[in-house]
Structure 1
């Protein structure tokens, strides 16, 4: 039994026939967050989530936080390159999980691709960069004493729901629900990393001076402003030449063709599925589905 969380209930049992993983509702045992809601997570994330709470931080660490499908992938590359003096060669040749690992998913990748286990995170060279989809109550206890930098990115909930539906369907074989059923479960906080609104409010209401808030919409509509904000926050100069190179690097086609930052390092699946995931865009979603999502607001 973990000292950092307790399992409240099973949301969905494991089903080998349907290739569905065990989905659980857990709650932090930290008294400081006793009034915070539960978290829905897969059982294979529990080890990483548990270790995250006791993870040792340094003041020059950078934590990228955000709900799933909110733009964290692009932000990982932007943050890492700005922080590492625009080392594009390394960014193209070292897989992202070895430069900017995901806290809760890192242990699981050992099963999938043979990457070394979670303990290696402690040995990463500084300044270290980490990503997490976990809500504030599950972040390292040292956060409030060490005060590393946090960048939190959010996205319009309607777009999050649509993107989540197809992502979970394609990546985790969540094929048993239609969109309306998925939406209902999302609103009832029975989908991975829900509840969504409390995820946002937990960070928005955080009394923490070393945090930068960004939105997916800003990053996509005004990439120059987003780069400038991140550069200033990280206390790094961003010269015009590097900014233009970074903008080109972050374009969809560029990232799709870069094996160091696409999904090939995380999971083994067919080239056809990879292409389908990469090409899945909001414009492909029917207007009918988009109208249904408006109910989330």
Structure 2
């Protein structure tokens, strides 16, 4: 499929591209069900990782062939993605027969379709520290032909700091969902760094939030199958079957580490983003770790 790089534009105060706004009415009128589970993240913050965890927790025992025959982007559809004749996330989600439906989004909190709030759906939000998030996003944009051309690293970092990347400001995104958590009880806010540090413990927290009780054997299988190396090799999770990515530039699943930012940031860039973090994160109790 021939694809051309899109242009970024302002959409209701958030930098977006057309494939996430063209199906706007359909997405906003999406009919959530009370047992739907949403995985919400800023892009490149562990979305696929948590998607695979949930899919295995719910269907790993009852439908083991599902994980070896259906790619993750069909098992956990991307709600707002809209590329006609190629991938329509809302339509794919509507057709799902699984219970629960597990759906992912990169929307900032203010863009979430109202039915998810009305149905009191459970939402898992995964946040990743800004330094590692921007590095991962940069390499992702290099190889993703439906994202704008990233340019060089210094200019990309500057645009990220200004919120001029797809889905807008990382600061607004993570803070917006954090603030929503204070008034909406059905959000489980988790951190990529915690998931790296102790995957088993974070899986336990997810199970508790979702009120599910898999056996120790089942949880052990989940931990084995969601290891980074296992998922990177797995065609059903590594996105190698999706034709919009150029793996010659970079793999979809690149490193999956904390502190890779140290391999990219100059001293000046490190100091600048530190000052920006201090300014942007002043009026919030939200805190991140950039090392573990």
Q: TM-score, normalised by structure 1?
A: 0.81
| Residue 205, structure 1, aligned to residue 190, structure 2 | no
Q: Alignment length, in residue pairs? A: 266
Q: 1:67 aligns with which of 39, 42, 54?
A: 42
Match of 1:242 in 2: 218
Match of 1:92 in 2: 68
2:170 and 2:21 mapped to 1: Cα distance? 19
SS at match of 2:104: strand
- 145-154 vs 281-290, which deviates more? 281-290
Contact 1:52 1:138 in 2 (8 A): no
Question: What is the Cα deviation at residue 53 of structure 1?
Answer: 1.4
Q: 2:130 aligns with which of 121, 134, 157?
A: 157
User: Which blocks of at least 5 consecutive residues in structure 1 are unaligned?
Assistant: 1-15, 28-37
1:68 and 1:271 mapped to 2: Cα distance? 18
Question: What is the Cα deviation at residue 146 of structure 1?
Answer: 0.9
Q: 2:104 aligns with which of 127, 131, 153?
A: 131
Question: What is the Cα deviation at residue 57 of structure 1?
Answer: 0.6
2:37 and 2:151 mapped to 1: Cα distance? 37
Match of 2:162 in 1: 188
| Residue 57, structure 1, aligned to residue 57, structure 2 | no
Judged with a 3 Å threshold, the aligned counterparts in structure 2 of structure 1 residues 284 and 200 are, in CA distance, closer, same or farther, namely closer
2:235 and 2:84 mapped to 1: Cα distance? 16
1:1-297 mapped onto 2 (5 Å cutoff): 19-27=4-12, 38-84=13-59, 86=61, 87-105=63-81, 107-108=82-83, 110-111=85-86, 118-125=90-97, 126-172=99-145, 177-206=151-180, 207-269=183-245, 272-273=248-249, 276-280=251-255, 287=263, 289=265, 291=267, 292-296=269-273, 297=277
Contact 2:144 2:244 in 1 (8 A): no
Question: What is the Cα deviation at residue 277 of structure 1?
Answer: 4.1
Runs of 4+ in structure 1 off by over 6 angstroms are none
SS at match of 2:185: coil
Contact 1:63 1:148 in 2 (8 A): yes
More helix by share: 1
Question: What is the Cα deviation at residue 242 of structure 1?
Answer: 1.2
- 172-181 vs 39-48, which deviates more? 172-181
SS at match of 1:25: strand
Judged with a 3 Å threshold, the aligned counterparts in structure 2 of structure 1 residues 255 and 109 are, in CA distance, closer, same or farther, namely farther
- 224-233 vs 118-127, which deviates more? 118-127
2:161 and 2:202 mapped to 1: Cα distance? 30
Q: TM-score, normalised by structure 2?
A: 0.82
Question: What is the Cα deviation at residue 199 of structure 1?
Answer: 0.8
Superimposed CA distance per residue, residues 184-235 of structure 1 (whole angstroms, 9 cap, x where no aligned partner)? 1111121111111111111111111111111001111100111101111111
SS at match of 1:267: coil
User: Which blocks of at least 5 consecutive residues in structure 2 are unaligned?
Assistant: 278-292
Question: What is the Cα deviation at residue 259 of structure 1?
Answer: 1.5
Match of 2:282 in 1: none
Instruction: Give the aligned CA root-mean-square deviation in angstroms.
Output: 2.5
- 88-97 vs 142-151, which deviates more? 88-97
Superimposed CA distance per residue, residues 124-148 of structure 1 (whole angstroms, 9 cap, x where no aligned partner)? 1131110000111111111222111
